Amino acid sequence: MKPRVLTALPVYNEATHLARVLREVARFANDILVVNDGSTDGTDDVLLTVPGIRVVTHGTNRGYGAALNTAFCYGIRNNYDVVVTIDCDGQHEPSLIPELAAAVFPENDEPRDIVSGSRYLKSFDGDTPPPEDRRRVNVEVTRFLNDTIDLKLTDSFCGFKAYRTHALENLRITELGYAMPLQLWVQAAQLGMRVVEFPVPLIYLDEERSFGGSLDDSKQRLEYYYEVINRELHAPAESNVTTQSGPTHCD
């Protein structure tokens, strides 16, 4: 039986790119969920003009990690087999959604729990390099994760991923901000999840994009990332996984 795939987009103040990205995503995905994370720029109005999508709205901005967690919970509760996440800023290639989803259940092999896009596995025509400080932070954090939990990643921050939904039930996501993927990586390693990377193009359209407040300073952003990783590494084991009664992160 063909796996049921949910393609989810976390959205915060993306009115400029939203309609175009969703039109492109709809060419390659059937079930599309937009998590509108308290946008205030007219994103709500744009979503009203796009047919055939599902929308979950946060009344206030709760953070990138919170938006992804809402998508995970939606996928779990609605019995999808795979959740694909793709950012809505035009920096990911929607045509790769079917390949990314299919890689979760490869023929003649065990299912993968996470298929993670990597912008550094191979070069593509038209690749555009990221701002220097973003690449430096990614390299440093990825190296630290590899040295600490041995995941052998090349890109720890790419938002273009496919998750086996059953595996998501074993995570407990509490980090609501941009460092949520780092908490996820630590838990994935501790749980022995099967993780592979998938090459995706390197596209940066908005070099001035803000992380918000103090996180625009790369030094403070790096400190925040290390704080989240170290907190998760030292969290009691029982706090990082769900009980048999269901996923605690979907309360």
The CATH number for 115's domain is: 3.90.550.10
The confidence score (pLDDT) of residue 204 equals: 55
Closest CA to 34 of 96, 16, 52: 52
CA pair distance 79, 175, nearest whole angstrom: 24
Which residues in the chain show pLDDT less than 50? 207, 240-248
- Give the residue among 166, 155, 158 at the shortest CA–CA distance from 194: 166
Give 130's DSSP letter: P
pLDDT of the residue at 108? 86
What is residue 123's predicted lDDT score, i.e. its pLDDT? 72
**Tally of CA atoms within 13 A in the half-sphere of 192 that contains its CB:** 0
User: What domain count does the chain have?
Assistant: 1
- Gap between the Cα atoms of 183 and 228, Å rounded: 7
What is the residue range of 56's domain?
5-250
Prediction pTM value: 0.88
pLDDT of amino acid 241: 47
- Residue 36 is classified by DSSP as E
Element (H, E) at 102: helix 97-102
Q: Cβ distance 61 to 81 under 8 Å? A: no
What is the pLDDT at residue 207? 45
